[in-house]
Amino acid sequence: MEVKNHVILFLDILGYKNLIQNCDNRNIENSYLHKIHDLMANLSIYIEKRNADVDEKNGKYNLRISRFKSLIFSDNILFFAPYENETDMHNLYMNLLYGLSEFLVQYTKEDIFFRGAITKGNLYYDDTLHFIFGSGLVKAYELESEMAIYPRVIIDDSLNPSPILVGLAQDKEQKWYFDYLSLGYNLICDCRKDGEYFEYFLACLKEQGNAISNALKKYHDNKRILIKYQWLADYHNNFCTKQGFTEMLAKL
């Protein structure tokens, strides 16, 4: 029994506490329960399927990407996988980004957005007890709760993020975060502005823009929450402007 090096993703649903507190009867809470349960299950499916597909296509290289495990509790989801060396770590980390980007682009937004962090660190996990322990978990939680702030996924500096990789970006404070729209655009429609995959991506983008616009209206008088969705609106609109999708802009 010992801790080992792991790649770790920690995700949290933004505003979960407020949403639960506003559930004034059991039916409403049960409805929200089903929504969260389906979201978490779909996220697991996206990441696990992506990992299994990579393993199948690269069998002779024995990448074993599908060694990722997940642990779900309340509004949090944890993905983690042990790695043997830096190359192994990089493969796991990048494939985690691929699966996560496809999910973040395609899931039905409505009033739910995610915040999180990806890092590496020491973990121990007991499958029987579902017991998880280690400084890596503490680090992932602190990055999510103290640095992510907005609906975004922080990329820890320990992963050596690089601007040459599609899907990574920096904010004004030089913090790295996950640019899931750019990576998702590449993965889903291969940057070709035609065909059914492109139209599907635009539909997802429009849905996200509408959900952000609704959130900006809903929290107009709550400055503490509003700034989080203003950040998301800026991120969404900057991507749309850069790609020429001006009809998909979120309304500020």
- Distance, in Å, from the CA atom of 178 to the CA atom of 97, rounded to the nearest integer, reads 8
Please report which confidence band the pLDDT of residue 177 belongs to, taking 50, 70 and 90 as the band edges: very high
Q: Does 133 share its domain with 51?
A: yes
Q: Does 60 share its domain with 30?
A: yes
Q: Does 22 share its domain with 118?
A: yes
Q: Does 180 share its domain with 104?
A: yes
Q: What is the pLDDT of residues 99-146, one digit of tens each?
A: 999 999 999 888 889 999 999 999 999 988 989 999 999 999 999 999
- Specify the length of the chain in residues: 252
Six-digit token pair at 110?
């409505």
Angle value at C-alpha 48, between 47 and 53, nearest 5 degrees: 100
For residue 195, what pLDDT is reported? Answer: 83
For residue 230, what pLDDT is reported? Answer: 96
34 pLDDT above the threshold of 90: no
Q: What is the tally of structural domains in the chain?
A: 2
Decide which of 218 and 19 is more confident. 218
Q: Does 135 share its domain with 237?
A: no
Q: Does 140 share its domain with 100?
A: yes
Mean pLDDT over all residues of the chain?
Answer: 89
Decide which of 211 and 189 is more confident. 211
Mean pLDDT for the stretch of residues 88-103: 90
CB 139 within 8 A of CB 156: yes
